[in-house]
């Protein structure tokens, strides 16, 4: 049976790499997929991974009806055997409903990939709707690591290396960019303490170190 599958995790856990792998495996068997993405780091209409792999995709802007787009491709004689959606957290809840309709009405598998929570630890609306509707939700097992070496569970937004917890939910950036706004994955402990890799090196006494009473 076709299904709507949601693969989630923090940044750096290999979501886009897995999306590209699924595309490769199916296309190698003669199947043809349709790839949607939104606000990819490589630019509009691109699906890219941090490993340097890039492929063309359809930019799923706010006004795009994903179900209608697939129907139009099929009505023109195009072949669509499955659908891949990367950066699914950026989609509107209504677009997630359209993905479910692609599965139910067109009998196509839909593989969605995205971050579950934002830099404030709040669910993205698109991810929330996927959790509500998906036939299968999987957390990717490739563990991203916090600067301290622990498993990273939270996404942090930084400005000049300093973690921020206010601002627009979506500001496209990259952990490797030189621009002021960036992103970093942290463990829960250091996310709660607003300690990024930069700020952890800024003082001689880490907040993780217990004070020693003088005698």
69-121 pLDDT tens trace: 999 999 999 999 999 999 999 999 999 999 999 999 999 999 999 999 888 88
Q: Is pLDDT above 60 for 41?
A: yes
Average pLDDT of the chain is 84
* Burial of residue 173 (number of CB atoms within 10 Å: 0-12, 13-18, 19+): middle
Its pTM stands at: 0.74
Catalytic residues: 87
Regarding beta strands 162-164 and 154-159, do their DSSP bridges make them parallel or antiparallel, or are they unpaired? antiparallel
CB 57 within 8 A of CB 47: yes
Question: Residue 202: pLDDT band by 50, 70, 90 thresholds?
Answer: low
Task: Taking residues 2-19, report their average pLDDT.
Answer: 86
| Helix, strand and coil in the chain, % to nearest 5 | 25, 25, 50
Amino acid 111: pLDDT: 97
Residue 213 has pLDDT above 50, yes or no: no
Residues forming beta bridges with residue 54, ordered by sequence position: 48
Which residue in the block uniquely carries the two structure tokens 């590209």? 20
Tokens of 22: 């699924």
Cα–Cα distance measured from residue 146 to residue 74, given in angstroms and rounded to the nearest whole number: 44
Distance from C-alpha of 113 to C-alpha of 130, rounded to nearest angstrom: 10
């Amino acid at each position: 049976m076709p299904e709507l599958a949601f693969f989630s995790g923090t940044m750096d856990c290999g979501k886009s790499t897995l999306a590209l792998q699924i595309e490769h495996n199916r296309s190698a068997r003669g199947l043809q997929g349709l790839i949607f993405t939104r606000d990819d780091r490589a630019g509009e209409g691109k699906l890219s991974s941090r490993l340097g792999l890039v492929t063309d995709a359809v930019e799923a802007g706010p006004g795009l009806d994903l179900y209608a787009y697939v129907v139009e491709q099929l009505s023109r004689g195009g072949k669509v055997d499955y659908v891949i959606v990367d950066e699914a957290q950026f989609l509107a809840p209504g677009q997630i409903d359209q993905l479910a309709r692609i599965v139910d009405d067109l009998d196509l598998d839909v593989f969605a990939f995205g971050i579950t929570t934002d830099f404030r630890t709040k669910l993205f609306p698109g991810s929330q709707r996927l959790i509500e509707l998906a036939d299968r939700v999987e957390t990717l097992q490739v563990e991203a690591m916090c600067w301290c070496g622990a498993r990273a569970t939270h996404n942090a937004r930084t400005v000049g290396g300093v973690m921020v917890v206010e601002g627009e939910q979506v500001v496209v950036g990259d952990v490797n960019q030189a621009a002021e706004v960036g992103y970093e994955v942290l463990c829960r402990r250091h996310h709660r303490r607003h300690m990024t890799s930069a700020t952890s090196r800024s003082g001689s006494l880490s907040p993780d170190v217990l004070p020693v009473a003088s005698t």
